[in-house]
Amino acid sequence: MPGIVTKAIFPVAGMGTRFLPATKAAPKEIMTLVDRPLIQYAIDEARAAGIREFIFVTARGKSALEDYFDRAPELENLLKEKGRDDLLDILQPTNMDSGAIAYIRQNRPLGLGHAVWCARRLIANEPFAVILPDDVIAAEKPCLQQMVEAYETTGGSMVAAMEVPPEHVSAYGVLDVKQDMGAMVSVRGMVEKPAPGSAPSSLAVIGRYILSPHVLDNLNRIGAGAGGEVQLTDAIAEEISSGRDVYGLRFRGQRFDCGSKAGFLRATVAFGLARDDLRDDLSRYLAELGPGRHGAPPG
Ligand code: UTP
């Protein structure tokens, strides 16, 4: 019987160089998608999946994240005085119960695997989730919830998986599929950023994981991998070598790579169009632009 997943690690210690100069003084995860910072989407998804303890792996310059999830008594009192219960309601999801959130520092950016390893002492012998807030997923049922439900029958470790065009696979961790069961695949191996033409499939790993605690032991042992970083992919692949099961779930939903500028802009448009208060305005503007106005090929 697989354990219940109640803890999630949010690795947010990266430098966010693709968004410089914006990320010189403000963390990437505080950047705003419509009217909420990226990190809020990740926390909401975790809550929907039953996560109760939130572990942030942070770094220098990320203190805005801590303030964001703290109470803001002056602001709350002002809103109360003005009778703005609507705005107080909007602030509600930014409040964390005392002790529900922990911050650990990664003092050198040695990679995603290293960031997860930094949180090892806060994970006992239990499965845990990892959420990369850069990957924002629009889905009827939140992606991590889909994974938790699937995990209840599989156990082992599970990654969120998505088909990507062959010319893009080298940017991802890629699954070597043992058995394809439709939405779920069992995994024979995983390769981080395979050289062009050498990828075992076009099924890529994106930023949602449910991991067995053994993955933390594996991270203890392995050294730097692709790009000189400690790769989480390598530590998950070790599970397979040790005879433990790893699965990929083709989640239902649309993933936006908000770690890239083009992905962030796409997400802004998609999430804007999904909002009742913005849809008409935004779609009128997009129609005004028309294909000729922004250089898209006709037809
Ligand atoms: P990215 O590869 O997107 O790196 O990290 P980055 O630094 O955030 O952004 P760029 O590429 O410089 O623009 C993927 C995730 O892993 C975390 C990041 O915060 C992000 O959530 N990460 C990465 C760490 O926490 N520590 C690391 O050493 C590396």
Chain segment 262-281, per-residue pLDDT in tens: 999 999 999 999 999 999 99
Give the pTM: 0.93
Count of domains observed in the chain: 1
What atom in ligand 1 is closest to the CA of residue 12? 19
Two tokens, residue 123: 């994970």
60 within some domain: yes
Nearest CA to ligand 1 atom 5: 14
What atom in ligand 1 is closest to the CA of residue 106? 26
Domain interval for residue 11: 7-259
213 within some domain: yes
148 within some domain: yes
80 within some domain: yes
286 within some domain: no
In angstroms, what is the span from residue 16 Cα to ligand 1's centroid? 6
Which of 12, 170, 232, 264 has most ligand 1 atoms within 8 Å of its beta carbon, as the pocket-test mutant?
Answer: 12
Share of the chain above pLDDT 70, in %: 97
What atom in ligand 1 is closest to the CA of residue 109? 28
pLDDT at 165 over 70: yes
Residues with beta carbon inside 6 Å of ligand 1? 11-18, 28, 57, 106, 109-112, 114-115, 132-134, 259
CATH number at residue 173: 3.90.550.10
299 within some domain: no
In angstroms, what is the span from residue 253 Cα to ligand 1's centroid? 23
278 within some domain: no
Mean pLDDT computed over 22-28 = 92
Which of 20, 62, 132 has most ligand 1 atoms within 8 Å of its beta carbon, as the pocket-test mutant?
Answer: 132
Averaged pLDDT of the chain = 92
